[in-house]
Amino acid sequence: DIQMTQSPSSVSASVGDRVTITCRASQVISSWVAWYQQKPGKAPKLLIYAASSLESGVPSRFIGSGSGRDFTLTISSLQPEDSATYYCQQANSFPLLTFGGGTKVEIK
Amino acid sequence: EVQLMQSGAEVKKPGEFLRISCKVSEYTFTTRWIGWVRQTPGKGLEWMGIIFPPDSGTVYSPSFQGQVTISVDKSVTTAYLQRTRLKASDTAMYYCVTLRNDYGDHFFDNWGQGTLVSVSS
pLDDT digits (tens, 9 = 90+) for A57-91: 999 999 999 999 999 999 999 999 999 999 999 99
Nearest to A96 among B45, B62, B113 (CB): B62
The stretch A18-25 carries a mean pLDDT of 98
Interface contact B113-A94, CB threshold 8 A: no
**Confidence class of residue B43 from pLDDT cuts 50, 70 and 90?**
confident
Interface contact A30-B61, CB threshold 8 A: no
Q: Dihedrals φ, ψ of A72, to 5°?
A: -130, 150
Interface contact B108-A99, CB threshold 8 A: no
Residue in B107, B109, B115 to test binding to A, most A beta-carbons within 10 Å = B107
**Confidence class of residue B1 from pLDDT cuts 50, 70 and 90?**
confident
* Residues of B (56-75) whose Cβ lies below 8 Å from A: 59-63
The stretch B61-77 carries a mean pLDDT of 94
CA torsion through residues A90, A91, A92, A93, sign: positive
Judged against a pLDDT cut of 90, whether residue B104 lies above it is answered with no
Of residues B42 and B79, which shows the higher confidence score? B79
CA angle at residue B98 from B26 to B88, to 5 degrees? 115
Q: What is the DSSP letter of B63?
A: T
**Confidence class of residue B103 from pLDDT cuts 50, 70 and 90?**
confident
Judged against a pLDDT cut of 90, whether residue A26 lies above it is answered with yes
Q: What is the DSSP letter of B105?
A: E
